[in-house]
Chains A and B, each alone.
Chain A
Amino acid sequence: MTALLEVEDLRVAYGKIEAVKGISFSVDAGQVVTLIGTNGAGKTTTLRTLSGLLKPVGGRVRFDGKVLTRVPPHKIVALGLAHSPEGRHIFPRLTIEENLKLGAYLRKDTAGITKDINRAYDLFPILGERRKQAAGTLSGGEQQMLAMGRALMSQPKLLMLDEPSMGLSPIMMQKIMATIVELKAQGTTILLVEQNAQAALSLADQAHVMEIGTIKLSGTGQDLLHDEGVRKTYLGED
């Protein structure tokens, strides 16, 4: 069975500086795969390249059988690859509901869209309570919920989450991680980039550790959770 997402020897550079130096990994349908690593490892660069915001200088990406080189971002979304970016990036001067509607921009089934908006409100009740409020007035955690809800509106085949726990309080972080677990239970395929290695490894099927542009270590979430090196470097054990 071919994987839903295949990344082969991906290279991405900012001018002369290579941020991603030839990484390869894949994501199967129904899996949760995580990329962990510290700041500057190239995780966000990788996701932004997969969604088309950045152009690679080498390597190949195949999604659902199609090669993604030269495909502009708005067409990649149409193929079923959704990206909830680092820092949330909700549209601050639009309401929560308008943000969600934008997530469904490519869809034409109005009834289905309304149903999915209500499902987002079921998943995140606080969004439902504030649906007419400008998204810029939400707290960090609420914005993260909105960003995830918005990404789900396109009914993606693969959902990429970039640092969903960044800047959140421990309680909020737990809520977000619980939501990801729930999405996983519903069968959503997820590529998760996280600095919170403990949380990410606990729920991932497959995990890759990135360090300055390369993948240093791969394995199942559980394997890496118990790996000596990973524990020392990323889980704060001594």
Chain B
Amino acid sequence: MHTLPQQLANGLFLGSMYGLIAIGYTMVYGIVQLINFAHGEIYMTGAFGALAIYTNLPSSLSIWAALPLMLIGGALVSVVIAVGAERLAYRPLRNAPRLAPLITAIGLSLALQQAVFNWYPDAKSGKRFPQLPGGPFHIGSVDVQSGDLFLLGAAVICMLALGIFVRSSRTGRAMQATAQDPDTAKLMGVDTNRIIIIAFAIGGFFAAVAGLASGLKYGQIQYNMGFQAGLKAFTAAVLGGIGNIYGAMLGGLVLGIAEACATAYIANVPGMEQFGGGAWAQVWAFVLLIVVLLVRPQGLLGERVADRA
């Protein structure tokens, strides 16, 4: 169970989840220099949106047929909330001191948690989430669940698509330009407000995918699942270099693997027996973050901010 390949696999799946959520943090920061503290709740509401669809579908429908509908439902909720937040809460504060939208984001995060807690039927404790049939699969010496495969597949597809979109499409280029120099982007004819909305929407969609995948993997969702996942994903984004999309993916992966390996191996180091296991995994993940930032403050793939005249 605690073999290296198994831990790496666990880390890979965990990392995919963090990466998907981290993309939302990094895209928003890259384009409007805002840490969207409500993004964890966008992930959470996406999961609840997917569950709501599932609960209202006829029970004769197989989970496979329900899956695309659940994704659409979850994505709708996440994207509407993300874009709504930008339009109504963050945009009016675009020229305010930096602290103002930050506080708004925290307030929004709390509001969303409480909204689900109070209004989603029986959400005060965890809600059961359907799981995918089949598995566990044995690939080599590694055990893999269906939910894990879904997560990995979805993450890979999303990230490849995003990479291609940003690098090769006209809108992707406009997004890069807006992130680097919004005023000059406007001089190119770019509607920067629209570009910003697209960034929020993409982040929201990815969070919804992660929310659905999380539900499928763990078999349950809670109103406060966004807090810890959001914190980890934000850490992943910073670790990889905040603002850098590839950094978010890499940071997610590194964090996931570090967490999985810390769970398994730290306890084997003589003298460190009490510092292993699940409880300490989080600690080691953050220790890793601190070490990386001490050595490389801009994150793994981040750039030092220095432009030529």
Closest to A89 in B: B184
Residues of chain B within 8 A of A208, CB atoms compared = none
Any B CB within 8 A of the CB of A140: yes
Contact A73/B187 with A91-B181, A94-B177, A102-B177 known, Cβ cut-off 8 Å: yes
Interface size class of A (residues with CB under 8 A): 20 to 34
Contact assessment for A94 and B180 in the assembled complex, using a CB-CB cutoff below 8 Å: yes
Q: Considering the complex, give the chain A residue whose CB is closest to the CB of B303.
A: A93
Contact indicator A53/B186 (Cβ below 8 Å): yes
- Chain A residue numbers with a CB within 8 Å of B309 are 87, 140, 167
Q: Is the interface of B mostly helix, strand, loop or mixed?
A: helix
Report chain A residues within 8 Å CB of B173. Answer: 94, 98, 101-102, 105
Whether the Cβ atoms of A91 and B184 lie closer than 8 Å is yes
Contact bitstring B24-43, A, C-beta under 8 A = 1, else 0: 00000000000000000000
In the complex, which residues 253-305 of chain B have their Cβ closer than 8 Å to any Cβ of chain A?
303
Q: Pick the contact of A136: B177, B183, B187, B308 (CB < 8 A).
A: B308
Residues 104 to 133 of chain A near chain B (Cβ within 8 Å): 105-106
B181 touches A94 (CB 8 A): no
CA distance A52 to B187 in the complex (A): 9
**Could you tell me the distance between the alpha carbons of A137 and B24 in the complex, rounded to whole angstroms?**
29
Q: B177 contacts A85, CB within 8 Å? A: no
A53 to B192, CA, bound (A): 12
- Would A83 and B308 count as touching, CB distance under 8 A? no
| B→A interface (CB under 8 Å) | 170, 173-174, 176-177, 180-181, 183-192, 303, 307-309
A contacts, CB < 8 Å to B:
51-53, 72-74, 77-78, 82-83, 85, 87, 89, 91-94, 98, 101-103, 105-106, 136-138, 140, 143, 150, 154, 167
Sampled A-B contacts (19; CB under 8 Å): A51-B187, A53-B183, A74-B189, A77-B188, A82-B187, A85-B184, A89-B181, A91-B180, A91-B184, A91-B185, A92-B308, A101-B170, A102-B173, A102-B174, A102-B188, A105-B188, A105-B189, A136-B307, A140-B309
